[in-house]
Structure 1
Amino acid sequence: WQAKKLCPELVLVPPRHDRYAEISRQVNALYMQYTDLVEPASIDESYLDVTGSLPHFGLSAHALGDQVRRRVREEIGITISVGISFCKAFAKMGSDLKKPDATTEITRENYRDILWPLPVGALLYAGKRTCEQLRMQGIHTVGDLARTDRQALAALLGRGGDALWLAANGLEDAPVVPPDEQPAVKSVGNGRTFPRDLVTYDEVRRALITLSDEVATRLREAHMMCRAVQVSIKDPKLKVIVRQMQVGRPTWQRREISDTALKVMAANWREGAPIRALTVTAENLIPADQATEQISLFDAVPQKQREKQEKLERAVLQLRKKYGADSILLGPGDEEH
């Protein structure tokens, strides 16, 4: 709404999340033709370890990157940028250097010349607030950070400072881990920073319902249920409070997650206090097939309501899979429409 106010002629195009996900699957399937070590980092980024497959293709890493770019462009119809390096952090930085369609190779011989002059914010996980802290210490570039005493950085930023130092010096050694080898999910969260502060109960309620809906969907996709719900509240001064509450029984239902999140808010927020960001996280997860519960005779009516809600949410999930994530939206009455 702020953009439309500034530019009334602005044309807004609705997102096509289902189409984005389909393209992402096609691209990753193409990557799998080159190596089985493919780790999707997000819907539009993946890490590939081609160390063992280069001899099979008889290509250099740079030539293979060019081939992958060409095939994605010709077979799928989009452009990609490829970063090649000896560690994931530098490969990511390389892919960001020349967009939208290029291959950049960062080697042990050239990384100081190519990456160290970049602003420190070019490092993954060097967020705005971290960069401000670093600038106050006279650290402006990746090279500045790399040459800083490691212990001093850890004292300033904690474990995050040590991780940044390792990344800047090319010492980050995280392996490429395919999805089926990922460690078990311990929590599922969804957060949002709002374009303007939320101050009314209705605004906060709508936000929590939307966040809880995404968390519930991801729980079902992971075949997990939660036994607690955590809410993180950030105000305009970036002060954060985190509170959680147990749910009565293991759940992946959106209604139960949002109801619990609203109870957390009621106990820890007063209407009118501005909120810049909210995060809802499902905690204490267990596999859905291990979730058991004892049903009391006195709980028969709520149990029937829960079963009715379960049928409703499963139907909504199926419709969204068929027609797209935005085909059914949450209305002001917290009902599906």
Structure 2
Amino acid sequence: MERVIFHCDLNSFYASVELLDHPELRHLPVAVCGDPDSRHGIILAKNEPAKAFGVKTAETIWQARKKCPELVLLPAHHHKYREFSRLVNHIYQEYTDLVEPFGIDESWLDLTGTLHLFGGDARALADRLRERLRCELGLTISVGVSFNKVFAKLGSDYKKPDATTVISRENFKQIVWPLPVTDLLYVGRAAAQTFQKFNIRTIGDLARFDRESLFTLLGKNGVQLHDFANGLDRSPVAPATQHTPPKSVGNGLTFPRNLQGREEIRAGVTQLADQVGTRLRLQHMKCQGVSLAIRDPDFRDLSRQQRLDSPTYLGREIAQTAMELAESCWNMDHPVRALTVTALYLVPEEEAAAQLDLLSGPLERKRERLEKLEGALDSIRAKYGKGAIAPASAPRDPGEDRHAPPPGGSRSYLEEP
């Protein structure tokens, strides 16, 4: 039986939710953003009039206002977005129990086994779903309908806002293959740069490229992307209740002022590593590698990574490795605008057997004490809040309340397989 997969993408989600409370602004260019007075204020979402001025998500507020001086800025209310996301996915679940969220504003639905209950016409059901969300929640979605997840997502991106696009086995070469190869799911920066060297500019170019050569260039990822381009994705729609452990855990911070010198950089690394360690312990995972990304005031990025001798979820061990990476690749006299520390190659805590050597006994006893200590810190944070206890060296603005949570444009993420 041919699969029927929907990808539903809420249009300008954050901005749409905010405009429910400000209908008088709908015709104006509007963006949801961070604090306009801080350096790390960035555009989180924008409405269609703002898009017409070229305003882009993730650019800084000052860049957006250069393009659109009349841009109306609204603060973010993340609790609202989580609640609307929950309501939207609850509606999806009335049509199928196979609903896989992909971020807060996108979901895949597998309707293969239930479409016949709703008339049997996939396009008509997608249109009905769009109408229902518009009427009941005041939000619009774009829906891609296809026979696999990758093409369904391309369909929801193909025409916006508030549209349905059907990509079938009969028409996918006409619709999908002319699209830029960077539109394909999981084509990252490195793959795109490799493709450019070999004149692979469209998804069709990728589909026609020699499969074995792609394996030579990009390994298994190259073969997978070739399959995606040819409509051979067979990945299932996995409901949110089927938990998949993350592949990595990272935290990044854009600091209120540039870090200067080894000690300030060490303080920033320590703060982030402590947060990463805390999140690893919550996930009951340990990491076998650490990466560090450094951004300078001119937005130039540098990143390095390193394997660990033994799996860990201790913030101090993650910080030590991250500082070794910093000292190996960065001139400590140069200012730092932002840092990101990421734990890589995660394994479940119970499987993380440390490698033994002649000193393993004393070292393991010391590690056990440190793990108990950091566990106690986790308990304090759980009871009194994340800002209740933090590394004393965490970088702060002069005169800032020492009991306040750390400042800056903090971001954290879990990378899924």
Bin the TM-score by the shorter chain: 0.7 to 0.9
Residues 134 and 140, structure 1, Cα contact 8 Å, conserved in 2: yes
Q: How does 1:197-276 map to 2 (within 5 A)?
A: 200-201=261-262, 202-203=264-265, 205-206=267-268, 209-210=271-272, 212-213=274-275, 216-217=278-279, 220=282, 224-228=283-287, 230-234=289-293, 240-244=304-308, 246=310, 256-257=314-315, 259-270=316-327, 272=331
Shift of 1:20: 1.9
Matched residue SS, 2:91: helix
TM-score normalized by the length of structure 1: 0.76
Shift of 1:66: 1.0
Matched residue SS, 1:56: helix
Q: What number of residue pairs does the alignment pair up?
A: 311
Shift of 1:67: 1.3
The CA distance in 1 between the partners of 2:276 and 2:304, in whole Å, is 22
1:81/1:305 CA distance change after superposition, 3 Å = same
Residues 177 and 203, structure 2, Cα contact 8 Å, conserved in 1: yes
Identity of aligned residues (%): 33
Structure 2 partner of 1:139 = 200
Structure 2 partner of 1:292 = none
Q: Which of the numbers 72, 78, 81 marks the counterpart of 2:142?
A: 81
Shift of 1:186: 5.9
Shift of 1:304: 8.8
Structure 2 partner of 1:294 = none
Task: Give CA-to-partner distance per residue, 1:165-218, whole Å, 9 cap, x none.
Answer: 0000001111111122344x2655125596999774435643663475367357
The CA distance in 1 between the partners of 2:123 and 2:274, in whole Å, is 43
Q: Which of the numbers 369, 373, 377 marks the counterpart of 1:309?
A: 377
Aligned-residue CA RMSD in angstroms? 3.9
Shift of 1:278: 2.8
1:218/1:329 CA distance change after superposition, 3 Å = same
The CA distance in 1 between the partners of 2:390 and 2:173, in whole Å, is 50
Q: Is structure 2 residue 148 aligned with structure 1 residue 91?
A: no
| Code of the aligned partner of 1:140 | R
The CA distance in 2 between the partners of 1:328 and 1:64, in whole Å, is 49
Structure 2 partner of 1:284 = 347
1:162/1:178 CA distance change after superposition, 3 Å = same
Matched residue SS, 2:241: helix
Q: Is structure 2 residue 217 aligned with structure 1 residue 153?
A: no
The CA distance in 2 between the partners of 1:13 and 1:188, in whole Å, is 32
The CA distance in 2 between the partners of 1:298 and 1:214, in whole Å, is 21
Shift of 1:129: 2.7
Q: How does 1:66-77 map to 2 (within 5 A)?
A: 66-77=127-138
Q: Is structure 2 residue 129 aligned with structure 1 residue 104?
A: no
Residues 292 and 325, structure 2, Cα contact 8 Å, conserved in 1: no
1:140/1:194 CA distance change after superposition, 3 Å = farther
Shift of 1:40: 1.1
Matched residue SS, 1:179: coil
Show structure 1 runs of 5+ residues with no match.
Answer: 288-296, 321-326
1:307/1:149 CA distance change after superposition, 3 Å = closer
1:213/1:79 CA distance change after superposition, 3 Å = farther
1:106/1:242 CA distance change after superposition, 3 Å = same
Residues 249 and 342, structure 2, Cα contact 8 Å, conserved in 1: yes
The CA distance in 2 between the partners of 1:169 and 1:193, in whole Å, is 39
The CA distance in 2 between the partners of 1:331 and 1:306, in whole Å, is 12
Q: Which of the numbers 158, 181, 190 marks the counterpart of 1:120?
A: 181
| Code of the aligned partner of 1:137 | F
Matched residue SS, 1:89: helix
TM-score normalized by the length of structure 2: 0.63
Matched residue SS, 2:212: helix
Matched residue SS, 1:170: coil
The CA distance in 2 between the partners of 1:304 and 1:219, in whole Å, is 11
1:197/1:39 CA distance change after superposition, 3 Å = farther
Residues 250 and 343, structure 2, Cα contact 8 Å, conserved in 1: yes
The CA distance in 2 between the partners of 1:329 and 1:73, in whole Å, is 44
| Code of the aligned partner of 2:321 | V
Show structure 2 runs of 5+ residues with no match.
Answer: 1-38, 41-59, 295-299, 351-364, 395-401, 405-417
The CA distance in 1 between the partners of 2:87 and 2:280, in whole Å, is 21
1:199/1:242 CA distance change after superposition, 3 Å = farther
Moved more, 233-242 or 141-150: 233-242
The CA distance in 2 between the partners of 1:228 and 1:52, in whole Å, is 39
Matched residue SS, 1:181: coil
1:277/1:90 CA distance change after superposition, 3 Å = farther
| Code of the aligned partner of 1:225 | H
